[in-house]
Amino acid sequence: MFGFLKKKDDAPPPAPERSWAQRLKAGLAKTRSALNTPLGELFSRAKIDDELLEELESTLLMADCGIDATTWLLDELKAQVKRAKMETPGELRAALVSLLERLLAPLEQPLDVSTHKPFVVMIAGVNGAGKTTSIGKLAHQFHDEGRSVLFAAGDTFRAAAREQLAEWGRRNDVTVIAQESGDPAAVVFDAINAARARDIDIVLADTAGRLPTQLHLMEEIAKVRRVVQKADPSGPHEVLLVLDANIGQNAVAQVKAFDKAIGVTGLIVTKLDGTAKGGVLAAIARQCPKPVRYIGVGEGIEDLQPFSVKEFVAALFDTQ
């Protein structure tokens, strides 16, 4: 009579939650394919020769490692082949993995927000890089760590940016200091004073997206930095540049330009799941090394995590 009621056991089991390593591996699938498909063919050859090394060079360049990093990796590999008398491509592959870990190692420096209170973080980048979304994900992480957060809506140009930040504020129970219009530097100044008065741990200050070629806007963001120092002479304690991994080698130019204007102290590299250009981190390591504080491999709130070289390279070469 009650046959229409399903037993609890009949319900489909919930899908197991993927670990960060699994999400990272899935997120780097495009770059891994761009690297591993040709590398798999190269490393399955019978011997190491000049042709193999030339094709390896082309593969690294196609993954957007850049000329500087690719040249360094190839020179080091050739030296190791000679020194260790390597004969098999398998040995060469292991040496490449080790060298890439060595190249990227200086970029692995986790963000420490315990040094000041409030700890003031400025977030900068071009339009569409994922600044506001990254701020929301960071707030979620900081809350999980038991830290209080306040948002400064320093993007006073786009109403949609304020609304997006306000939505992240609601989701994370974070107060947003904003103005309908006006000076972004004044908004950030007010937010720092509000955080101090409310005993808040971290201020995350959003800024309007801008291109490095827009000199008046680069001067404006430099002004925001100067005003932060007026509100707190020790700040900003971190200046994060958000980079869209899809832009490849342009990321290097962005790091240099924003660093010149505001003194970049760390990077967030987003959208690695949407590109085959994950090798750009190697280019950054050689040409403009800055700590990569976080990387993003998806839309989920957990898909922004601190950068780990070993995890990144393992996911890139499928060595886990």
CATH code of the domain in which 61 resides: 1.20.120.140
Is residue 154 situated within a structural domain?
Answer: yes
What does each C-alpha distance from 13 to 28, 35, 181, 276, 300 come to in angstroms? Answer: 28, 36, 50, 34, 21
Q: Residues 44, 161: one domain?
A: no
At residue 16 the predicted structure's pLDDT band, cuts being 50, 70 and 90, is low
What does each C-alpha distance from 173 to 143, 196, 269 come to in angstroms? Answer: 9, 18, 25
Measured between its terminal Cα atoms, the distance across the chain in Å is 52
Least confident of 15-24, 101-110, 131-140, 254-263: 15-24
- Tell me the C-alpha distance between 48 and 108, whole Å: 32
* Domain limits for position 85: 21-107
| Coil/strand/helix, residue 240 | strand
**Residue ending a domain, choose from 107, 132, 159:** 107
Torsion angle, CA of 256/234/127/137, rounded to 10 degrees? 120
Question: Is the pLDDT score of 17 beyond 80?
Answer: no
- Tell me the C-alpha distance between 133 and 297, whole Å: 13
Q: DSSP class of residue 176?
A: E
User: How many domains does one find in the chain?
Assistant: 2
Who contacts 175 (Cβ-Cβ below 8 Å, separation ≥6)? 150, 151, 169, 194, 198
Q: Residues 124, 260: one domain?
A: yes
Q: Residues 85, 210: one domain?
A: no
CATH code of the domain in which 206 resides: 3.40.50.300
For 143, phi then psi, to 5°, come to -65, -40
Specify whether the CB–CB gap between 195 and 118 falls below 8 A: yes
Q: Residues 187, 296: one domain?
A: yes
* pLDDT digits 0-9 by tens, 67-123: 999 999 999 999 998 998 888 888 888 999 999 999 999 999 999 999 999 999 999
Question: Is the pLDDT score of 10 beyond 80?
Answer: no
pLDDT of residue 5: 42
Q: Residues 148, 286: one domain?
A: yes
The pair of three-digit structure tokens given for residue 157, joined into one six-digit string: 């140009």
Is residue 75 situated within a structural domain?
Answer: yes
The sign of the dihedral angle between the CA atoms of 176, 182, 183, 184 is positive
Is residue 99 situated within a structural domain?
Answer: yes
Is residue 98 situated within a structural domain?
Answer: yes
pLDDT of residue 14: 52
- The Cβ-side half-sphere exposure at 268, using a 13 Å CA radius, reads 28
> By C-alpha distance, which of 249, 250, 238, 244 is closest to 290?
238
Specify whether the CB–CB gap between 161 and 155 falls below 8 A: yes
**Residue ending a domain, choose from 107, 140, 163:** 107
At residue 237 the predicted structure's pLDDT band, cuts being 50, 70 and 90, is very high
* Residue with the larger pLDDT of the pair 252 and 11: 252
Q: Residues 241, 282: one domain?
A: yes
At residue 194 the predicted structure's pLDDT band, cuts being 50, 70 and 90, is very high
